Structure 1
Amino acid sequence: MVLVTDEQVRKGSADYFLNSGDKIRFFFEKGVFDAKGDFLVPREKSVNKIGHALHAHNPLYKRMTHSPKIQEVGQRLGLVKPVIVQSMYIFKQPNIGGEVTPHQDATFLHTEPLGRILGFWIAVEDANEENGCLWFIPGSHRDGISRRMLRTPPGSIPCTAFIGEERSYNDDQFVPAPVPKGGLVLIHGEVVHKSDLNTSPNSRHAYSFHVMESHKTSWNPENWLQPSQDLPFPSLYT
Structure 2
Amino acid sequence: MARAGQFTAAHQTALAQDGCAVVAGFLGADEVRRLRGRIQELLAAFDVADHPLTTFATGERTAGHIGDEYFFASADKASYFLEEDAVVDGALTVAPARAVNKIGHGLHIVDPLFAAVTHSDAVRGIASALGYADPRVLQSMVICKQPAIGGAVPLHQDSTFLHTRPLSACGFWIALEDCTLHNGCLEYVPGSHRTAPIARRFVRARSGAGTEMVDVDPVYQSALPVATDAREAGTPQQQEQQQESVPIEVAAGSLVLIHGQVLHKSARNQSQQSRWIYTFHIVDGACHYDADNWLQMPAGAELTRL
Q: Deviations over 1:103-125 (max 9, x none)?
A: 000111111012x1000000011
Aligned residues: 221
2:67, 2:211 within 8 Å by CA — same for their partners in 1? Answer: no
Q: 1:105 aligns with which of 129, 147, 158?
A: 158
In the alignment, the residues of structure 2 paired with residue 34 and residue 42 of structure 1 have an alpha-carbon distance, to the nearest angstrom, of 13
Q: 2:108 aligns with which of 55, 64, 75?
A: 55
Q: Tell which deviates more after alignment, 52-61 or 68-77.
A: 68-77
Change in 2 beyond 3 A, CA 1:171/1:44: farther
Q: 2:70 aligns with which of 8, 11, 16?
A: 16
Change in 2 beyond 3 A, CA 1:62/1:202: same
2:204, 2:212 within 8 Å by CA — same for their partners in 1? Answer: yes
Q: Tell which deviates more after alignment, 128-137 or 71-80.
A: 71-80
**Residue in 2 that maps onto 1:82:** 135
1:22, 1:231 within 8 Å by CA — same for their partners in 2? Answer: no
- Whether 2:173 is the aligned partner of 1:121: answer yes
In the alignment, the residues of structure 1 paired with residue 303 and residue 83 of structure 2 have an alpha-carbon distance, to the nearest angstrom, of 28
Alignment of 1:65-214 (within 5 A): 65-114=118-167, 116-142=168-194, 143-153=196-206, 155-156=208-209, 159-164=210-215, 167-168=236-237, 169-170=240-241, 173-214=244-285
Q: Which runs of 5+ in 2 are unaligned?
A: 1-63, 217-234
Identity fraction in percent: 43
Q: CA deviation at 1:206?
A: 0.3
RMSD (CA atoms): 2.0
Change in 2 beyond 3 A, CA 1:60/1:231: farther
Q: Which runs of 5+ in 1 are unaligned?
A: 1-9
Q: CA deviation at 1:71?
A: 1.6
Change in 2 beyond 3 A, CA 1:171/1:101: farther
In the alignment, the residues of structure 2 paired with residue 21 and residue 84 of structure 1 have an alpha-carbon distance, to the nearest angstrom, of 11
Amino acid at match of 1:161: E
Alignment of 1:216-231 (within 5 A): 217-229=287-299, 231=301
Q: Tell which deviates more after alignment, 40-49 or 167-176.
A: 167-176
Q: CA deviation at 1:155?
A: 4.1
1:146, 1:167 within 8 Å by CA — same for their partners in 2? Answer: no
Tell me the SS of whatever aligns to 1:227. Answer: coil
In the alignment, the residues of structure 2 paired with residue 167 and residue 13 of structure 1 have an alpha-carbon distance, to the nearest angstrom, of 24
Q: Tell which deviates more after alignment, 53-62 or 71-80.
A: 71-80
Amino acid at match of 2:305: S
Q: 1:27 aligns with which of 81, 86, 89?
A: 81
Change in 2 beyond 3 A, CA 1:171/1:29: farther
Q: Deviations over 1:153-186 (max 9, x none)?
A: 4642xx1111139532339520111111000000
In the alignment, the residues of structure 2 paired with residue 100 and residue 120 of structure 1 have an alpha-carbon distance, to the nearest angstrom, of 17
Tell me the SS of whatever aligns to 1:31. Answer: helix
TM-score (norm 2): 0.68
Amino acid at match of 1:106: S
2:171, 2:281 within 8 Å by CA — same for their partners in 1? Answer: yes
In the alignment, the residues of structure 1 paired with residue 97 and residue 212 of structure 2 have an alpha-carbon distance, to the nearest angstrom, of 32
Tell me the SS of whatever aligns to 1:194. Answer: strand
**Residue in 1 that maps onto 2:96:** 43
The structure with the largest helix share of the pair is 2
Q: CA deviation at 1:31?
A: 2.1
**Residue in 1 that maps onto 2:12:** none
Q: Deviations over 1:61-118 (max 9, x none)?
A: 111111122122222223221000220100011111110000000111111012x100
Change in 2 beyond 3 A, CA 1:38/1:163: closer
2:189, 2:243 within 8 Å by CA — same for their partners in 1? Answer: no
In the alignment, the residues of structure 2 paired with residue 234 and residue 120 of structure 1 have an alpha-carbon distance, to the nearest angstrom, of 15
